[in-house]
A and B are shown apart, each in its own frame.
Chain A
């Protein structure tokens, strides 16, 4: 059994996505996620390849890359992969590790249960999506 280490629980507790979560629930979440490191330049999500996961950056940076061109940087607390899972479609861009990157991962098929089990986390994810949408449509104002 993979008991969650205290350092992972500490890291998760410092991320805004989990700001409303109680201690016992946070420990449960720490068991639900897989922790993984990516090295510089390693592809995490691949454009056009199905079956990817949900990723939350715990440490480091990643870049959004489409057809070889970079479209932005993601940092600690940012998450990605959820749109592909929720829509059941392959990702439309690569996400690539910059330097060393540490992520918490939830497998695609487990994301729905995770979100429904932790509604406060889902609510904060929704707020983050709203902010992304607001940024994407800011040209209208």
Chain B
């Protein structure tokens, strides 16, 4: 939806098909316990509807017109700053209606082939021919590892209503967010909850990032620490077998402590999702790792299937620099909504010859502009070390604002002298501006200091940025 809107703004004629009956996507069904993990602050330090407010609203899609901005906070009832599933569904439905997106619902993509320089998409409603296909199919296919007995184990996606687990001993395979989401929801119902996987649990408040179990679902962890009935085990799962109405789960402890056997009433696999790639791998699209996320260039083009692009959560396949191990936020709306805008600009430019507006900047305006961007730009705060404000020095036009682009493009590609700024985070939890200066195709990195109030418009920041830009003669 975001890409369709942004393509429309860029003037690119396109069609959108969706197998769903209407807008709302996965939020028509999930999250299982009916409330999102991503927040929206109806009252924030920035004015609702402004660009800088987007930093506090992870769930709205981004539009240029007032009626399309900050839709999510207007639909929330004030009981939580995590929107309810139905509120998120209404958020997306409202955007689709107000933006009048050209989506054909109930139309399923069934196959792909190339004919000359065109792609042909086979669908349940017939064939679409296009110069540029973009796949935004999400991480929609439940995945389970090949472990003996796993066939009989339901996936997270097939979980029953929580009250049907009343008084049961539940064994959850996995210790990541979805495992803790279930465990948290089962706390009032289950007699005992075991979460097991080889790797120790990671908590986001410990990793100081979005890596690990988010604070919202940490209660089962505390229950485990206090001995309240939740058990976390670091063990590989060897075999699951039926024992009458229940299950026996054989495991081997990761610490060398030997086997552990569990007799339980229910087993649930929270072992993740993969993208429904269809025939794209057969056509050459490469994937990475167990999750089979398509491997993408920094501008979201398939590696192995040139000319095909990806949007939405699978843009995680373009990982960027991943500095200090911090992943992008491309797996969530607040990350991939910006990727979509960049992709629309790229498709318009490369395939339809539509150049984006690139305004000039006066040289004395550069410093305050860049410092304001690292202090308030939502793209840089949501996609740290991943997206950057880029300004180029053009010999004829002077300073050109090249917009928000992937930092990796600026760092890895040759081009005119210029500067890219972003916000970064390290393992210690520091948040600070980072400046990348390109001079004669050599890149230098300058990390500016953090600030307790996250104010990067101080005299010290101005001085350090000025020093960094000196090689550019600015």
In angstroms, Cα B443 to Cα A35, docked, is 27
Q: In whole angstroms, what is the CA distance A35 to B146 when docked?
A: 18
Interface residues of B in 407-433 (CB under 8 A from A): 411-412, 424, 426-427
Contacts of A46 in B (CB 8 A): 321, 411-412, 443
Decide if B291 is an interface residue (CB 8 Å cutoff): yes
Would you give the shortest CB distance from A119 to chain B, in whole angstroms? 12
Within A1-58, the residues touching B (CB, 8 Å) are: 1-6, 8, 22-25, 27-28, 30-32, 34-37, 39, 42-43, 46, 48-53
Nearest CB in chain B: distance from A13 CB, A: 14
Stretch in A71-79, A106-114, A122-130, A132-140 with 4+ CB within 8 Å of B = A106-114
CB contacts under 8 Å to B, within A54-113, are: 90, 100, 107-110
With A3-B272, A27-B198, A31-B198 in contact, do A110 and B325 touch (Cβ < 8 Å)?
yes
CB of B272 within 8 A of CB of A2, answer: yes
A107 and B327 CA atoms in complex are apart in Å by: 10
CB < 8 Å neighbour of A5 from B145, B176, B411? B145
Size class of the contact patch on chain B: 35 or more
Q: Which residues of A contact B447 (CB under 8 A)?
A: 50
Whether A107 lies near B325 (C-beta < 8 A) is yes
Selected from B295, B424, B443, the residue in CB contact (under 8 A) with A48 is: B443
Instruction: Return A2 CB to nearest CB of chain B, in Å.
Output: 6
CB-defined interface of B290-334 with A at 8 Å, one 1/0 digit per residue? 110001000000010000000000000001011111000000000
The distance in angstroms between the C-alpha atoms of A108 and B427, with both chains bound, is: 9
Contact B289 A34 (CB under 8 A): yes
CB-CB under 8 A for A1 and B197, given A36-B288, A49-B411, A51-B426? yes
For residue B234, which residue of chain A has the nearest CB?
Answer: A28
Would you call B179 and A5 a contact (CB within 8 A)?
A: no
Residue of A nearest to B174 (CB): A1
Q: How far is the CB of B113 from chain A (nearest CB, A)?
A: 24
Residues of B within 8 A of A42 (CB): 412
Contact B443 A1 (CB under 8 A): no
By a CB distance below 8 angstroms, the chain B residues around A30 are 198
Looking at B253, B325, B411, the one whose CB has the most chain A CB atoms below 10 A away is B325
Q: How far is the CA of A51 from the CA of B447 in the complex (A)?
A: 11
Q: Which residues of A contact B424 (CB under 8 A)?
A: 51
Q: Which residue of the partner chain, among B198, B426, B427, B445, contacts A28 with CB atoms under 8 Å? A: B198
Q: Chain B contacts of A25 at CB under 8 A?
A: 254, 256
The contact of B256 among A24, A52, A110, by CB within 8 Å, is A24
Question: A53–B320 Cα gap in the complex (Å)?
Answer: 13
List the B side residues contacting A8 at CB < 8 Å: 289-290
B173 within 8 A of A: yes
Q: By the criterion CB–CB under 8 Å, are B290 and A2 in contact?
A: yes
Chain B residues whose CB sits within 8 angstroms of the CB of A36 once the complex forms: 288-289, 295, 319
A27 near B236: Cβ-Cβ < 8 Å: yes
Complex alpha-carbon distance, A61 and B271, angstroms:
32
* B285 nearest CB across to chain A (Å): 11
Given known pairs A32-B199, A51-B424, the reply for A1 and B178 (CB within 8 Å) is yes
Size of the A side of the interface (Cβ < 8 Å), in residues, is 36
CA distance A32 to B321 in the complex (A): 19
B444 x A24 contact (CB < 8 A): no
Within 8 A of A (CB), among B170-188: 173-176, 178-179
With the chains together, A34 CA to B325 CA distance in Å? 10
B145–A3 touching, CB < 8 Å? yes
- Asked if B289 contacts A1 (CB within 8 A), the reply is no
B385 touches A4 (CB 8 A): no
Q: How far is the CB of B319 from chain A (nearest CB, A)?
A: 7
Is B252 part of the contact surface with A, judged by Cβ < 8 Å? Answer: yes
Closest B residue by C-beta to A3 = B145
Nearest-neighbor residue (CB-CB) of B428 within chain A: A109
Cβ–Cβ contact A51 & B175, under 8 A: no
Question: In angstroms, how far is the closest chain A Cβ from the Cβ of B320?
Answer: 11
Contact B290 A4 (CB under 8 A): yes
Contact partners of A100 in chain B: CB under 8 A = 286
Let me know if B289 and A2 touch, CB within 8 A.
Answer: yes
CA distance A42 to B290 in the complex (A): 21
Give min CB distance, B143 to chain A, whole Å.
Answer: 8
Name the residue of chain B whose CB is nearest to the CB of A107. B325
| CB-CB nearest in chain A for B251 | A24
Q: Which residues of chain A are near B287, meaning CB under 8 Å?
A: 37
Per-position binary interface string of chain B over residues 159-171, scored 1 when its CB falls under 8 Å from any chain A CB and 0 otherwise: 0000000000000
Bound complex: CA A49 to CA B322 (Å): 11
CB <8 Å contact, A35 and B289:
yes
- Residues of B14-71 whose CB lies within 8 A of A: none
**Given A37-B286, A37-B295, A108-B427, are A51 and B385 neighbors across the interface (CB < 8 Å)?**
yes
Smallest CB gap from B304: residue in A: A39
CA distance A22 to B198 in the complex (A): 13
Q: Is B270 an interface residue (CB 8 A)?
A: yes
A1, A4, A53, A110 — most chain B CB neighbours (10 Å):
A1
User: Is B322 touching A53 in the complex (CB atoms < 8 A)?
Assistant: yes
Contact between B325 and A108 (Cβ–Cβ < 8 Å)?
yes
CA distance A8 to B272 in the complex (A): 17
- Given the complex, which residues of B lie within 8 Å of A107, measured CB to CB? 322, 324-325
- Please tell me if the beta carbons of B323 and A43 are within 8 angstroms of each other in the complex: no
Q: With contacts A24-B252, A24-B253, A109-B324 known, is A37 near B288, CB below 8 A? A: yes
6 tightest A-B CB contacts, nearest first: A107-B325, A51-B323, A1-B174, A109-B427, A35-B289, A31-B199
Q: What are 8 A-B pairs at a CB distance below 8 A?
A: A6-B146, A23-B252, A24-B256, A31-B199, A36-B289, A37-B295, A39-B286, A110-B325
